[in-house]
Amino acid sequence: MPNQEITIYHNPRCSKSRNALALLQEKGIKPLVVEYLKEPLNSEQISDLCAKLKMSPEQLLRKGEPTYKEHYSGGNLNAKQAVNAMVDHPILIERPIIVCGDQAIIGRPPENVLTILDA
């Protein structure tokens, strides 16, 4: 298990996010919980998460969300536009995101969090 602090970017209304948090807690980990809908991320934080996830901002977007369809449907967003969309509408950020040091993973399925614990 890593000695570094673990952070979870969490939406308590999402069952996958709740399950990932519960899995961490079952392993005796007390992560720093960031409810990103209450504490929106800025563009630098989103870009940093993308780098740790080794994903493009476009890959981090939840394109199935009604907000995405309402505001961005039909358009292919570039990286900067995708980051700005997530800043403006945090609900569009894929969840949950678990960060440990310079590594991060999407907790979908929640069992994915176990891979970052073994890293």
Catalytically active residues are 14
Contact 90, 102 (CB under 8 A): no
The two three-digit tokens of residue 16, written as one number: 């996958």
DSSP letter assigned to residue 109: S
CA distance 118 to 42: 29
**Which of 51, 47, 53 lies closest to 96 in space, CA to CA?**
53
